[in-house]
Structure 1
């Protein structure tokens, strides 16, 4: 289905193609982080200069995790073919940063045992940089390198995806397609994990990439047809009309979606079923839901447990990928592929 007249325009797509989840608890892990960042840059099709920047960011973030963090992890995602970008997010449950502004200055160190140039260097080489920290509750640092839209969109989207701990292939994924006033966001979870789940994820996201104007009902119908012959998947599609301020949502399978609008939280129900297996409800769309106030849409797969945005005061002013990474940090089950995606209409600006 094609959207109403006047909504055509240049289409921009952001599709996850690969992911790494690296525990960084010892200096011996830094080289592995650098290697993963290089692979991510190559997977995203980045130029050599940007691949080198990915490696540098990984080294700096991993070094900080080994020195200051507790339960530190580096989450890396490659996006492509558009915009062709690598995202690195360092998350930890350490002491936090007491003075975020000072931490951006070369030579700053919370312990006095290093040059402390890591975060300043990351900020200089990043197309997008953001940081969230609470004393005693840890830190999340976001670095994006590559092709990132210069214009600030009406709705920002960010997320993290990690593979099953025993796999390298990633069975979860998400994609966002912008076309005129429409933003279509899809989250998919290939059944099981490993290569066959990754094949289903790839088919689903390629279908989304080709159909920037499809409404949730139509998109889920297309996903159901495209996924036949694969293992199948759970999936959710949200479409925001930035002109009218309305959002439509549809979901099939075991995903969690909530729309936060100030103190109000709407649970967006994903219907039981499996896309690609003929096991789905006849109707699974809700909307339009008004979403003109600042707020956040959060969608997660079943590799993530329960979460509460109230644990992160002020996170709505940060890049949505920061909120996604914090939820992942605190709710990751550690037994499956895992995805958290956040879309934000907040007019506030972070440090990105």
Structure 2
């Protein structure tokens, strides 16, 4: 089941709560003592940064596993820490990212040190719209003696953000991205209702994906229908990218939104009515579309408004996919208009050439 630590940060007393959440999440992910300390440090700095630059916001911590490198060469699950605010933005990001530039009442590390100690760190800020800071911490760093991992990258990247309704411990949504040979499958499941029972349904869909990632979307949904019969059921969308032929196949059942961008055009991908595990359409067509160097796929659960607007024309494919997902969620909600359901956005995008090893 998808465990998410969602901590609102609106005063300095919540900074400690963020650190404690990061330590609990690190234990849940299986990080060792050293990496647990790094996660706690990064989370503390991001929470303090929310107060200094954003006037408050939220920190989301969970475990992600979307390493799409060749089998046997990846890094495995990581702890993901995302800090999101609707504040004025960081006026001088270059200075804020300088190693040793300390945020008020922090541990004296600053965002620059976060960038250095985390395995991945990225900040996106726009004046008047707010800031997204995202870090990931793996169980072992590449540069630790005896723990060096292969330096490889995949031609595409996947990432997402998951926000449980009312800061619940478990989200009824779940997403995953799995590679099988030259095929990469992105799945998003929204368990019926909320809480642990909904999380059980969406988690069962993710578990089945790991066993059947070789199947095309429509066929995989048929397998999922059987696998989810003992659960509440779920809305599920599946997209499979064939790296060899450069095409994307899509199929979905239930209220999962999907949009594919090519160039400056966004195209909706339609799911069919039903509930996987309960009511499956008699016929489930599968659509096929070309995948280009500037394509970007967004899947989202119905906690996101159906008429969400894509971010302004910016180099979206250069952002980490989880940053793109966070920006979409942030710009579709506000303190006065919070998310109204478990809300998950998952993104698949080409890996920029300068990010490949």
Work out which of the residue numbers 124, 129, 137 in structure 1 matches 2:129: 137
**Is residue 152 from structure 1 mapped to residue 144 from structure 2 by the alignment?**
no
- 1:134-283 alignment, distance < 5 Å: 134-146=126-138, 150-165=151-166, 167-283=168-284
Aligned-pair CA distance for 1:274: 0.3
Q: How many residue pairs were aligned?
A: 335
**Is residue 83 from structure 1 mapped to residue 76 from structure 2 by the alignment?**
yes
CA distance in 2, matches of 1:219, 1:91: 34
Asked whether the 8 Å contact 2:11–2:56 carries over to 1, the reply is no
- 1:47-62 alignment, distance < 5 Å: 47-62=32-47
CA distance in 1, matches of 2:62, 2:249: 27
1:65 is paired with a residue of what secondary structure?
helix
Aligned-pair CA distance for 1:190: 0.2
**Is residue 342 from structure 1 mapped to residue 335 from structure 2 by the alignment?**
no
Unmatched 5+ stretches in structure 1: 1-15
What is the root-mean-square deviation of aligned Cα atoms in Å?
Answer: 2.5
1:67-109 deviation line (CA, Å, top 9, x unaligned) = 2213511111113698221101111122212333222213447
Aligned-pair CA distance for 1:310: 3.5
CA distance in 2, matches of 1:309, 1:87: 23
Asked whether the 8 Å contact 2:239–2:251 carries over to 1, the reply is yes
Q: Which moved more, 1:146-155 or 1:261-270?
A: 146-155
Aligned-pair CA distance for 1:35: 1.4
Q: Structure 1 175/238 Cα, relative in aligned 2: closer, same or farther at 3 Å?
A: same
Aligned-pair CA distance for 1:304: 1.1
Work out which of the residue numbers 23, 29, 36 in structure 1 matches 2:14: 29
Asked whether the 8 Å contact 2:9–2:15 carries over to 1, the reply is yes
Aligned-pair CA distance for 1:60: 0.5
Asked whether the 8 Å contact 1:17–1:79 carries over to 2, the reply is no
Asked whether the 8 Å contact 2:63–2:79 carries over to 1, the reply is yes
CA distance in 2, matches of 1:304, 1:279: 24
Residue aligning to 2:304: 304
Q: Structure 1 114/86 Cα, relative in aligned 2: closer, same or farther at 3 Å?
A: closer
Q: Structure 1 227/126 Cα, relative in aligned 2: closer, same or farther at 3 Å?
A: same
CA distance in 2, matches of 1:114, 1:75: 19
Q: TM-score, normalised by structure 1?
A: 0.88
Q: Which moved more, 1:211-220 or 1:147-156?
A: 147-156
Asked whether the 8 Å contact 2:250–2:287 carries over to 1, the reply is yes
CA distance in 1, matches of 2:36, 2:266: 40
CA distance in 2, matches of 1:219, 1:171: 20
CA distance in 1, matches of 2:351, 2:31: 30
Q: TM-score, normalised by structure 2?
A: 0.87
Asked whether the 8 Å contact 1:78–1:85 carries over to 2, the reply is yes
CA distance in 2, matches of 1:37, 1:104: 21
CA distance in 1, matches of 2:317, 2:64: 23
Unmatched 5+ stretches in structure 2: 67-74, 141-149
Q: Structure 1 115/168 Cα, relative in aligned 2: closer, same or farther at 3 Å?
A: closer
CA distance in 2, matches of 1:19, 1:189: 15
Asked whether the 8 Å contact 1:162–1:337 carries over to 2, the reply is yes
